[in-house]
Each structure stands twice: as structure tokens, then as C-alpha cells.
Amino acid sequence: MEPWTIRGRSALITGGNAGIGRATATELARRGADVTIGVRDRGRGEAAVAAIEEETGRSVGILDIDLASIDSVRTAAERFAADHPRLDVLLLNAGVFYGRHRTTVDGFEATIGINHLGHFLLAGLLFPRLLAAGAARVITVASSAHHRPRTFDVDELPDWRGRYRGMDAYARSKLANVLFATELARRTAGTRVSSYSLHPGMVSTRIAQDGDTVLVGLLWKLGRFRFLGPTDGAATSVMLATAPDIEDRSGRYFSEGREARPSRLAQDPQIARRLWRRSEEIVGLRFRPDR
């Protein structure tokens, strides 16, 4: 078995045009990976590609994808699969924070729809390409906010019951991220596909400023002096994409470069399995058989 190296490997990064995603894409390209960034805004995506290529001297691909739309995710997966016979690293990085209740084009509560369900569908559609890679990694950018929920009613998804609170919705979506990564690791045991989740640290990005709440965006911006920059925030994603000999840590959660303990709910295998089955029902995809 050849030792893991990122050089020459195919990497797809959602939300790769800004913040942590762009910093991760830049570093992986610098290290010799064949990087594609998934973007919702084509103009911003093209600008990011040009900047990354100028900085690294390597060609970078671009994939149009709106994680708020099942049709868009399916189309994006088909286009990527048509151009790439294998996928070595799938980095589920894109994320949103909305202070007011919003829905996706498919009628899902938008935070869980984009942060979890869109990524779940993308990973499922591209899973054959991950298997074809021989050795592959799925890396999910979560958050320490996943510790916030005290309960998680999987049957409630994809809607929101009761009074909507932006931070609660965001925290629930990040808990779903960690549960997904853990359950994916369980279901891929015996293959060479491994799965990890991570908290990047408190990072200065546009995640709240691109939402629809002026106050939250302002507070986020004012707090920047206490936050990491995107390059430092990308360090854990880069480590998980490049480090050799971490396959035996598949399913683990990392925080700022080190393995960390996830929340009690995130370690509940029954919740993880129920979330998986419910996610399959919602997006209309049988990802992996029950094991």
C-alpha cells in the first residue's frame, strides 16, 4: 500500500471561492493537488480561480453548485463525475448562517438544507468516484457549535418547529455534520474511504455577513479582532487532507489540528443512523446500505 500524498490527487472543495475554502484550495494546489472548487456565484468563483492559479502556478477547476437545490447538486455531481474518473478528497466546507427563517427552493429549512442535506446528497452521488480512487477522504467542516443542542429530533427535519433562532439552527446543522461524518466512517469500514469532521477554530469569514441579519453580521465583523484568519482556519482541513497514516482515525472529530471529543449527542450511534435514514428519505437517494 502506497503512503498517502496529496500530490497528483483530485480534490473537490465546496465553498472554495472565499474564506476557509479558498485558503484550503490554495494550499492543496500549492502542494500539488488537482483542485476543483464548488461555487454558487460564478463571478466570485472565477475571480478566486484566477487568484489561486496566479499564487500557486497550478490550474484549478470550477464547478457550479447551489447546495440549496437538489437539482443543482445532482447536475453538479453529474458534471464532475463526467470529467473525473476518481475523487480522492471531498471537502464539504461550504456553510451558511441565517438569523431569520428561510427555506431552500425545495422547501427545506435553509441552514440544515445547505449545511447538511446538500452536502449529504453530493457525497452520496460522488461516492462511486471516491471508491474508484482506491484511497479517499471525506472531510466535513463542522463547528464547536455542535455542542450547543441538548436534543436533536431527527423526525423534525427538514422543517423547523417553534420559534426560529439562527444560532440554534446553525448549531443543529453542525451537529448533523459531525453525525454524518461519524456514520459515514462506520458504513465505509472495510473500504479505503475514510471520513473526518472538524472545528476550524473561530475564523473571520463572511458566513454571517452573507446572511440576512444585519445585527448578527455586525457582531461577527466586530469580533474579527479575536478570530483566526482564513489561512490559520484552513490548517485543520489541510492537515486532514494531507497527513499520512490517519486512516485508523476515521470517524473522529478534530479541533484546531488535534483530535477532540465531540458532544454527547454527536457520539450517539442511534441518532446518527436515524439521521442517515431520514436524510436519504428527504433527498431521495439511497447512499449506502444499512450495515
Active-site amino acid positions: 170
What are the φ and ψ backbone dihedral angles of 190, each rounded to 5 degrees?
95, -10
User: CA-CA distances (angstroms) from residue 120 to 18, 138, 263, 282?
Assistant: 21, 11, 21, 10
Mark out the alpha helices in 31-153 (DSSP H runs). 42-56, 70-83, 110-112, 119-125, 127-132
Strands 253-255 and 258-260: antiparallel
CB hemisphere CA count around 50 (13 angstroms): 6
8: left (phi over 0), alpha (psi -120 to 50) or beta: left
Write out the three cell numbers for 117: 442535506
- Please return the burial class of 288, using the count of CB atoms within 10 Å of its CB with bins 0-12, 13-18 and 19+: middle
- Please return the burial class of 193, using the count of CB atoms within 10 Å of its CB with bins 0-12, 13-18 and 19+: buried
Query: Which residues have a Cβ under 8 Å from the Cβ of 232 and sit 6 or more positions away?
Result: 201, 203
Name the CA radius of gyration of the chain, rounded: 17
**E strand or H helix at 163, and its extent?**
none
Q: DSSP character for 109?
A: B
Q: Which amino acid is at 159?
A: D
